[in-house]
Amino acid sequence: MPVYSEKVMDHFQHPRNVGEIENADGVGELGNPTCGDIMKIYIKVKDDKIEDVKFKTFGCGAAIATSSMVTELVKGKTLEEAEKVSNGVVAEALDGLPPVKMHCSNLAADALHLAIEDYRARKAGKGPIGRVETPEHDEDEHDLLEHA
């Protein structure tokens, strides 16, 4: 079983910013049905800043913790600052993730970036971008995930 930091456990047991934002300005949804993690991030933008951010995640403890941490990292930040939040930044903010769970931090950062992309598409009159699924894990990684 992977060993998690205290921060990961705290964000898993007490996730921040859980829920939906009605009439969100941008929504990013990512998921991988093979491993079961699905994340949806909602953003409310005012004056080019993320005024509010919420998430709904179906997945393992690391997926919930990374979603929670992403929302904490970007609340009140400009869109440009939020776009700089990468999987590495999320993992570092959580004092690390076990290697077999690093894909969770990828999903959280990518869902945030999709929400920002969705916001910009809506603002440009191109409508919502819709759901995007992550590519399948390769078999070796999936076997590791199932036995983690």
**Active-site positions?**
35, 104
C-alpha to C-alpha distances, 40 to 12, 54, 68, 141, nearest whole angstrom: 16, 8, 11, 23
Q: How far apart are CA 5 and CA 35, in angstroms?
A: 22
CA-atom Rg of the chain in angstroms: 15
**Cα 137 off chain centre by:** 17
**Closest residue by Cα to residue 96 from 27, 13, 2:** 2
Q: How far apart are CA 42 and CA 52, in angstroms?
A: 8
If one counts every other C-beta atom within 10 angstroms of the C-beta of residue 143, the result is: 11
**Beta bridge mates, 57:** 39
Amino acid at 121: A
